[in-house]
Amino acid sequence: MPFPKIVWLNERMQRAGLLQRLAHEKLATYGFYQVPEEEKVHYVRRHFNSVADCYDLMNTILSFGIHYQWKRSAIRAMRLKPGDRVLDVCGGTGDLAILAAEHVKDTGQIVLYDINREMILAGKHQPRHGDIRKKIKYVQGDIEAISLPDNSMDAAMVGFGIRNVTHMEKGFAEMYRVLKPGGVMMCLEFSKPVSSVFRWLYDMYSFYIMPWLGQMIAGTRSAYIHLPETIRLFPLPDELSDMLKSIGFSHITYRRLTNGIAVVHTGIKEV
Ligand SMILES: C[S@@+](CC[C@H](N)C(=O)[O-])C[C@H]1O[C@@H](n2cnc3c(N)ncnc32)[C@H](O)[C@@H]1O
């Protein structure tokens, strides 16, 4: 059953109730639709297969290029140092990994971890930042079972990926597990604009213009209907902070970017 067309799932109780019912029925949300829990990952994979070739171009067009600014702010929030080992989960075409590589210098290491081979390849073979890309280690896998040892990374980040994950808490718990004590976690995700006027404009843009651009440029309208739907179901900043705290992260902070369209959360694994 689809939800009504435009809805921000913005009340804690609303979300808790929905998630409890879905868990009970072994279902998961896929945008405003509900699918069997174990099948969601296949839907997500198909979704990113359909957009991989146009992913970077579409991001730049749809965000008017602002996503690069958000990514730079998010990387700065992690305070990376030369020599750090950084994990970029749901790393996709590698924008965050490249920015992180510039901070950790030649002595550091970046691991880009993504479930989707098409997304990894779409980034890996781009000539732009070719030298930096060669230094990144690419691993295909699911954030819910990261194939890295415990306490092995100085930083772990996830950009615009966690809201697609079937069990979000499991993904964050895996990031926590692989971090060294004292290591920093960063999550950059879309959220709900603060101003109601701006939010109305953003809703119109998201549900009417974005799908049209998706059809015209990437040849898929459905992928760009799915995108705004997932954003509206994602936990709000305070809810996400509580989830991170319950996983074990401390010193949790968040910062809204561009009136709250995007939010950067950071947290530390306790020593
Ligand atoms: C919207 S893209 C974000 C890419 C990149 N981080 C960025 O900021 O541009 C989301 C990525 O998450 C990946 N992804 C989705 N579910 C995943 C999972 N369970 N485990 C690992 N990666 C996943 C997708 O394949 C896709 O590349």
Label each residue of 222-253 as H, E or C. CHHHHHHHHHHHCCCHHHHHHHHHHHCEEEEE
CB 162 within 8 A of CB 230: no
- 44 CA distance to ligand 1 centroid (A)? 9
How far does residue 182's CA lie from ligand 1's centre (Å)? 25
Q: Which amino acid is at 269?
A: K
* Environment class of 240 (CB within 10 Å of its CB; exposed 0-12, middle 13-18, buried 19+): buried
User: Does 5 have pLDDT greater than 80?
Assistant: no
Q: Which atom of ligand 1 is nearest to the CA of 158?
A: 6
Give me the CATH topology for the region 12-269: Rossmann fold (3.40.50)
Residue 93 CA from chain centroid, whole number: 12
Q: What is the rounded average pLDDT of the residues 129-142?
A: 93
Question: In the chain, where are the structural domains located?
Answer: 12-269
Phi-psi region of 142 (alpha: psi -120 to 50; beta: other; left: phi over 0): beta
Q: Which residues line ligand 1 (CB under 6 A)?
A: 41, 44, 48, 89-92, 95-96, 114-116, 119, 142-144, 159-161, 164-165
Is 7's pLDDT higher than 90? no
Enter the pTM of the model: 0.94
- Ligand 1 centroid distance, CA of 6 (Å): 24
- Split at pLDDT 50, 70, 90, the class of 1 is very low
Inter-axis angle of helices 95-104 and 66-77, nearest 10: 40
Residue type, 270: E
Confidence of residue 4 (pLDDT cuts 50, 70, 90): very low
CA of 173 to the centre of ligand 1 (A): 17
Q: Which of 63, 90, 118 to mutate to test the pocket of ligand 1 (most atoms within 8 A of CB)?
A: 90
